[in-house]
Amino acid sequence: MLRLLDISKTYSMRPVLRGVELELKDGEAFVLFGHNGAGKSTLLKIAAGLMSPNTGRVEITTESHSRGGIFYIGHRNGLYNELTVMENIRFFQDISRNRNGKFPLREILLEFGLWQRRNDPVKQLSQGMKRRLSLMKGFISGADILLLDEPFSGLDVRWKEIILERLRGLKKKGVALLMVTHLIKEGLSVADRIGLLENGVLTFQCKKEEITEEEIKEMLRGGVCR
Amino acid sequence: MGFVGNTLAIVKKDLLLELRAKEAISIMVFLSLLLLVVFNLSVEIDTENVSRLAPGILWVVFAFSGILGMGRTSLSERDDEAYLNIYFSSVTMESFYLAKVISNLLFLLLMEVFTIISFVVLFDYERLILALPALTLPLVLGSFGFSVVGTLFSFLSTGSRFGEIILPFLFLPVVVPILLGGVSSTDIILNGSTGDTPAKWLKILLVFDLLYLCISLILFRYIIEE
């Protein structure tokens, strides 16, 4: 379980997050929507431990420590561009918390459409392929909590579907997902709960069933706030 | 795999990256050659004084060329935020740091061998080759000290806008004891000295290596977290 308690963050006197409270249970997906600059990425980095809040704290309790704790996939892909696809993933496998688990690399690379390019340097891949490789690391990391910042950027419709299916599979295995995205439809298709972050304040959160895509769009346009 | 396995996995990855990109080695080798040519043209060196001047010239070249190369290995982690793979893995910061020290040490030693061969050719000083077995220990101890300090400061400075400019300013004052130990022990080996043995200076090198290593192991975690 991940709990964010009264999180506030200020960048050079400008408040970015103000008293954000959020709870994420095992096997649950919380999708965070909000305008650019609302503080979504900052919140994710604080949850990942990459940034310290000015006030508040992050509590993480995972039932199975053996599967590892948190894994974060940010805007950048975290790849070594000079190494091949296989070398990148093997290195990740070597240092992964989950290295004792069995990764059928061939199957995973086939599923992510990267098997044919396994011996190519990452620098020769398209943005979408790099993103898929980056997401693949998250899927094989064995983390209990996956933090995803705009995971679908650069992906076409087909790959978005495949990634969404994978994310739903992870949820069933008890992995908690905290995701930031601008893609409402995709976000809703994986979410159990959604939240709206406005100027650093979590102004709204509800279960997925309690809201429609149109209502979220309306809220983001600055319309009715339920 | 644990501590040793993780450390070796990162060293292997660094060597593979360097094999592909050839960034650190090519920068170090090119600068060392450039500096030797400058010394050759600007200092009046003949068969009489080459033996006396060689230790100083060699260690100045090692220090300046080395620091440029060491900056590259930390940049490879910053590019595309690849260091996050390590941050969210089973690798401890101590293991990460030691792996980088070992990688940098190997690159430094390679550059030093190249520099010594170039020195012999440019200054027609064959005695340096004959003294190479005796010089091995000062070279390894001195390079280890350079690598320990250089690795720490390269990660500190890559977070800054003017990282590559700041790095020599941070590095050079701190490595003065190592530079002194290296020059003195090399001088004794090449020229002999009345009643002095390299052992005294090698002990000094060893003490500073261990001192800097202990301090760096403590500080590295904070630098990465920043």
Residue type, B148: V
Among B16, B80, B86, select the one facing A95 at the smallest CB separation: B86
Q: What's chain A's length in residues? A: 226
- Residue-level pLDDT, tens digit, chain A, 226 residues: 889 999 999 988 889 999 999 999 999 999 999 988 889 999 999 999 888 899 999 988 765 444 458 899 999 999 999 999 999 999 998 888 765 556 688 888 998 999 999 999 999 999 999 999 999 998 888 888 999 999 999 899 999 999 999 999 999 999 999 999 999 999 999 999 999 998 899 888 888 888 888 888 888 887 544 4
Q: Is B165 touching A (CB cutoff 8 A)?
A: no
What residues pair up with A5 in beta bridges, in sequence order?
Answer: A57
Residue A95 and residue B90: Cβ atoms within 8 Å?
A: yes
Delimit the domains of chain B by residue range. 2-225
What residues pair up with A24 in beta bridges, in sequence order?
Answer: A2
Q: Confirm if A123 and A81 have CB atoms less than 8 A apart.
A: yes
B 66-125: CB under 8 A from A: 76, 79-82, 84-91
Residues of chain A with CATH 3.40.50.300: 1-63+145-226
Region label for B46, one of left (φ > 0), alpha (ψ between -120 and 50) or beta (otherwise): beta
Position B193 scores a pLDDT of: 67
Helix (H) or strand (E) holding A172: helix A157-172
Position A98 scores a pLDDT of: 66
CA dihedral A130, A134, A136, A140 (to 10 degrees): 150
Residue A141 and residue B88: Cβ atoms within 8 Å?
A: yes
Distance CA B65, CA B62 (A): 5
Nearest-CA distance from A140 to chain B in Å?
12
- Using a CB-CB cut-off of 8 Å, the residues of chain A touching B86 are 95
Residue A82 and residue B80: Cβ atoms within 8 Å?
A: no
Q: Confirm if A44 and A72 have CB atoms less than 8 A apart.
A: yes
Nearest-CA distance from A204 to chain B in Å?
30
Token pair 């979408």 is found at A128
Tally Cβ neighbours within 10 Å of residue A9. 22
ipTM of the complex: 0.84
Position B47 scores a pLDDT of: 81
- Using a CB-CB cut-off of 8 Å, the residues of chain B touching A95 are 6, 9-10, 85-86, 89-91
Q: What's chain B's length in residues? A: 226
CA B5 from chain centre, in angstroms, equals 24
pTM for the model: 0.88
Comparing CA positions, the residue from A9, A148, A18, A23 lying closest to residue A77 is: A148
Distance CA B16, CA B133 (A): 28
- H-assigned helices in chain B: 2-21, 23-42, 50-78, 83-87, 93-123, 127-130, 132-158, 163-174, 176-191, 198-225
Domain A1-63+145-226 in this protein, CATH class? alpha beta
Residue B17 and residue A95: Cβ atoms within 8 Å?
A: no
Structure tokens at B11: 């060293």
- Side-chain-side CA neighbours of residue A186 (13 Å): 22
- Which residue of chain B is at minimal alpha-carbon distance from A74? B81
Kindly tell me the sign of the dihedral angle through the C-alpha atoms of A82, A88, A94, A97.
positive
DSSP state of B33: H
Distance CA A223, CA A200 (A): 18
Kindly tell me the sign of the dihedral angle through the C-alpha atoms of B155, B160, B163, B168.
negative
Token pair 């792996």 is found at B99
- CA angle B139/B145/B148 to nearest 5° reads 135
CA distances (Å), B212 to each of B56, B117, B153, B207, in order?
Answer: 23, 30, 12, 9
Per-residue pLDDT tens over the stretch B51-65 = 899 999 999 999 999
- DSSP E strand stretches across chain A: 2-11, 14-24, 29-34, 55-60, 70-73, 145-149, 176-180, 193-198, 201-207
Token pair 């709870």 is found at A23
Structure tokens at B205: 């090198």
CA distances (Å), B215 to each of A179, B71, B148, in order?
Answer: 39, 20, 10
* Lowest mean pLDDT segment, chosen from A51-60, B109-118, B132-141: A51-60
Residue B82 and residue A78: Cβ atoms within 8 Å?
A: yes
- Using a CB-CB cut-off of 8 Å, the residues of chain B touching A76 are 80-81, 84
Pairing of strands A29-34, A193-198: parallel
CA distances (Å), A149 to each of A16, A32, A72, A143, in order?
Answer: 17, 10, 8, 16
Q: What is the mean pLDDT of chain B?
A: 90
Comparing CA positions, the residue from A213, A148, A222 lying closest to residue A178 is: A148
Q: Confirm if A129 and A117 have CB atoms less than 8 A apart.
A: yes
Position B2 scores a pLDDT of: 85
Size of interface A-B (CB pairs under 8 A): 66
